[in-house]
Amino acid sequence: VDPQAAWLAYNAVDAQRVFPAGTAMPNTVLRLGDSAVEISAADELHRGFEGMLHRILRLDTDAVQASKDHDLIVIGTAKEIAAWRPSLREKKPLQPEGFRLRSVVAGKDSLLIVEGADERGALYGAFTLLRMIAEERPLTQLDDVEAPSAAVRWTNEWDNPDGSIERGYAGRSIFFDKGDVRQDMSRAREYARLLASVGINGCTINNVNADPSLLRPEKLAEIARIAAAFRPYGVKLSLSIAMNSPQAIGRLSTFDPLAPEVAAWWRAKVDEIYKAIPDFGGVIIKADSEGQPGPLQYGRTPAEAANVLARALKPHGGVVLYRGFVYNHHLDWHDPKADRARAGYDNFHTLDGQFDDNVIVQIKNGPIDFQVREPVSPLFAGLHKTNEAIELQITQEYTGQQRHLVFLVPMWKTALDTDMHVSGMRYSMVRDIVTGRTFRRPMGGFVGVANVGLDDYWLGHPLAMANLYGFGRLAWDPVLSSATISDEWTRLTFGNDADVRSVVDTLLLNSWHIYEEYTGPLGVGTLTDIIGVHYGPGIESAERNGWGQWIRADHNGIGMDRTVATGTGYIGQYPAGLAAEYETLKACPDELLLFMHHVPYTYRLHDHKTVIQYIYDTHYAGATAAAVQVPAWETLEGKVPDRTYFEVLRRLNYQAGHSLVWRDAVVNWFHRMSGIADDKGRVGNYPDRTEAEAMQLERYVPVAVTPWETASGGKAVV
């Protein structure tokens, strides 16, 4: 089994379940259209039938020829199908990029019809049919109509031209090498295929901290090759751009978005891009954020900057995704009102209504930065006349960097399923806001920061691919449950064995909670090294610097007071109904307590446990749960491909060990800070650990470690 196949493994299935007695298995696939995307769709059906059903489908494009066969899959757009057999014409039109799958018996013919609203719809229909087969669902009386929830379903890749990837944990770039676009585009093409198989229709190929040189003419010609690799799968290429490009590569003296020469430069540049890449998707803009140049330097707003690009893109049908991730990373820790969480809303909500209709504000799920637990960003409810997209992070920057197992779909679901309580609305779920439904916006969607690399498993940890899969599925249909998504992925990847499904699904579905338990409790954030790698424990590394991921822990208590009454006022950015829930200690959910409030360590949670004892207990419980993942996985030896078995086993073992490091770092730090004993007497004993410095050492010496809590007893050997 080739790990690169990921969830498109096309493992053999029980044909009789899929085609029970009386249901014919097709011999031929008749492709009615000639587009590259439909060709991919028909090829995929061929591939899937061969792998799963050992049936080699005859590929046909000649309706007359094909009609000699009576058991057919027919694939095409609605228009093509109606032209082929007018009796099959749809009364109700399909939604853009949607499809209908039907089984039709007409005279002697037994037809499986894959009908797309358009070419992409046909491709998505083919992949959906193949998924049904992989799950051994009977295709009798099939009638399934689907359409994506939103127009924008993109991944962002943070690849740099030199081939490195910002926050990438799975090898080098599949696109770039040493400043150039790779010669070999096979991984890029396979990636587009994977993306399309879950309905993703766009991919931004370069780091949001963008290198302006990618917009040079010779680079655009190279990038066009990536777009060509994506095209047969209906994936549009887009680029992150640096706002100062007119100056950096255009030699203008300014990049003020309102300077006419700057607007003209962007127009010409965008026209040039479309010459090279006619189906270019658009641009992503990170500006005035973490040192990136932006319009604020000229006293211009994000809306003014976004619109200049939007107007250049409009004639070509392109869009601007302007990131809401704008904040000051030189905040004053001594100022009790300073609060990074406020920044998104403060910077954008007053601009509501000022963005052109092909601009989308791209908002991270939480107001800080992909922590293990955050409330949803209040900005989602703060823009009623602006298109929005939610940005989710597939690459596990703060959640274990693909060395720890963390299935993120349940986390994303908590964001998407949050009701913002927008006044005057019965429901205002984040998922409906970003698809554009709530405020009747023409556009919106989902962006996932994926950062796949050349690694054979694309993301490093083989089970991390469930996150990429899950992102695509949620973008298609955010109502799907975590359990459904996990089980689909497991079946597609490993087959339908009941034991495999039960073990893998359980591992996936519990993993976020386990990670949260041994890292950051009660909404305080991932207590990780904030300044550098964002990996491993570093309890107070966020404190007393300008980056604003503060936990405000002292000897008496912990948490950011974000209340309106006594704190930073952040909670007041939510609509009143939700603000009321967060503002009072009584109503605030425990899992967000320390995000919203500063409380003493002796404060009692809803189950009457004190905060400090909760911190101790969850860390021991989380580390134990991480250890138990290992024997659970070991029951699958021989039931999943060997290489995958050992790759996962190795990582789960490592995670079990690292969770002890996490556990002890956190509990010891809090113990020292609070001076309050663990009522079970565990803290300071480092259970399950062997101390190198207690051994007999030759040529090694014990040294003190900074920060002290990251090594047991504050010591390591060198």
Contacts of 213 (CB under 8 A, 6+ apart): 161, 219, 248, 249
Q: Is 290 a catalytic residue?
A: yes
Alpha-carbon gap, residue 192 to 168, rounded angstroms: 18
* Shortest distance in whole angstroms from residue 289 CB to ligand BDP: 6
* Per annotation, catalytic residue among 143, 290, 332, 642: 290
Q: How far is the CB of 231 from ligand BDP (least distance, A)?
A: 28
Residues contacting ligand BDP: total by CB under 6 A? 10
Place of tokens 């014409």: 89
* Residue nearer to ligand BDP on the CB measure, 547 or 614: 547
To the query of whether residue 146 is one of the catalytic residues in this protein, the response is no
Rounded CA separation 154/238 (Å): 9
What's the min distance (Å) between Cβ of 146 and ligand BDP?
Answer: 31
Q: Which of 286, 340, 373, 663 binds ligand BDP (CB under 6 A)?
A: 286
Site string for ligand BDP, 123-162 (x = CB under 6 A): ----------------------------------------
Task: Select 166 or 477, whichever has its Cβ closest to ligand BDP.
Answer: 166
**Taking CB under 6 A as the rule, which mask of x and - marks residues 244-283 in contact with ligand BDP?**
----------------------------------------
CA distance 32 to 78: 10
Any contact of residue 167 with ligand BDP (CB under 6 A)? yes
Minimal distance in Å, beta carbon 365 to ligand BDP?
Answer: 12
Judge if the upstream peptide bond of residue 707 is cis by omega within 30 degrees of 0: yes
Binding mask 287-306 for ligand BDP (x = CB under 6 A): ---x----------------
**Secondary structure (DSSP) of 588-655:** S-GGGHHHH--EETT-B-TTS-BHHHHHHHHHHHHHHHHHHHHHHHHTTTTTS-HHHHHHHHHHHHHH
Shortest Cβ 557–ligand BDP spacing (Å): 27
- From the list 415, 407, 358, the residue with the least C-alpha distance to 391 is 415
Residues ≥6 apart with Cβ < 8 Å to 682: 616, 620, 667
What angle do the packed helices 482-494 and 498-518 form, to 10 degrees?
Answer: 130
Question: What is the contact mask toward ligand BDP in residues 584 to 623, using x (rule: CB under 6 A)?
Answer: ----------------------------------------
CB of 370 to ligand BDP, least distance (A): 6
Q: How far is the CB of 369 from ligand BDP (least distance, A)?
A: 5
* Residue nearer to ligand BDP on the CB measure, 166 or 590: 166
Q: Is 165 or 422 the residue whose CB approaches ligand BDP more closely?
A: 165
Burial of 218 (0-12, 13-18, 19+ CB in 10 A): exposed
Query: If DSSP codes are grouped into helix, strand and coil, which group holds residue 8?
Result: coil
CB-nearer residue toward ligand BDP: 346 or 529: 529
Residue closer to ligand BDP (CB basis): 397 or 664: 397
Of the candidates 55, 24, 12, 10, the residue with the CA atom closest to the CA atom of residue 140: 24
Under the binding rule (CB under 6 A), the answer on residue 437 touching ligand BDP is no
> Residue 241 — φ and ψ, nearest 5°?
-125, 150
Residue closer to ligand BDP by CB (options 40, 240) is 240
Tell the burial category of 515 from Cβ atoms under 10 Å away from its Cβ (0-12, 13-18, 19+).
buried
Element (H, E) at 321: strand 319-323
**Is there binding between residue 370 and ligand BDP (CB under 6 A)?**
yes
Cβ-based nearer residue to ligand BDP, 325 or 512:
325
CB of 316 to ligand BDP, least distance (A): 26
Q: What secondary structure letter does DSSP report for 249?
A: T
Q: Could you tell me how many helices (H) and strands (E) the chain has, helices first?
A: 21, 20
Torsion sign, CA atoms 47, 48, 50, 56:
negative
- Asked if 677 and 652 touch (Cβ cutoff 8 Å), the reply is no
CA distance 594 to 588: 10
Structure token digits, residue 14: 């029980």
Whether the Cβ atoms of residue 409 and residue 511 lie closer than 8 Å to each other: no
Active-site residue flag, 709: no
- Residue whose CB is less far from ligand BDP, 395 or 629: 395
| Nearest residue to 151 via CA among 475, 626, 579 | 475
340 near ligand BDP, rule: CB under 6 A? no
Would you say 19 or 535 has its CB closer to ligand BDP? 535
* Residues of this chain, 383-402, that bind ligand BDP according to CB under 6 A: 397
Q: Closest approach of Cβ 388 to ligand BDP, in Å?
A: 17
Of 168 and 281, CB closest to ligand BDP: 168
Indicate which residue of 369, 488, 561, 647 is catalytic.
369
CA distance 495 to 166: 34
CB of 340 to ligand BDP, least distance (A): 12
Determine, following the binding rule CB under 6 A, whether residue 369 of this chain makes contact with ligand BDP.
Answer: yes
Nearer to ligand BDP, 111 or 208 (CB): 208
The two beta strands, 152-156 and 143-146, are unpaired
Selected from 280, 325, 457, 518, the binder of ligand BDP by CB under 6 A is 325
Helices (H), 35-174: 36-53, 63-66, 78-84, 119-134
In the complex with ligand BDP, which residue's Cβ is closer, 528 or 710?
A: 528
- In the complex, what is the shortest distance from the CB of residue 166 to ligand BDP, in angstroms, rounded to a whole number? 5
List the structure tokens of 322. Answer: 């302007």
Which of 80, 397, 516, 678 is labelled catalytic? 397
Supply 643's token pair. Answer: 């290489």
Residue at token pair 């769709």 = 41
CB of 160: closest distance to ligand BDP in angstroms?
A: 11
> Which residues within the stretch 194-233 sit at the binding site for ligand BDP (CB under 6 A)?
208-209
In the complex, least distance from residue 476 CB atom to ligand BDP, rounded to whole angstroms = 24
State the residue number with the nearest CB to ligand BDP. Answer: 369
124 Cβ contact list (under 8 Å, min separation 6): 97, 98, 99, 116, 146, 148, 196, 199
Cross-strand bridge partners of residue 390: 363, 446
Q: Which of 279, 315, 219, 204 is nearest to 36 (CA)?
A: 279
Catalytic residues: 290, 369, 397
Residues that bind ligand BDP (CB under 6 A): 166-167, 208-209, 286, 290, 325, 369-370, 397
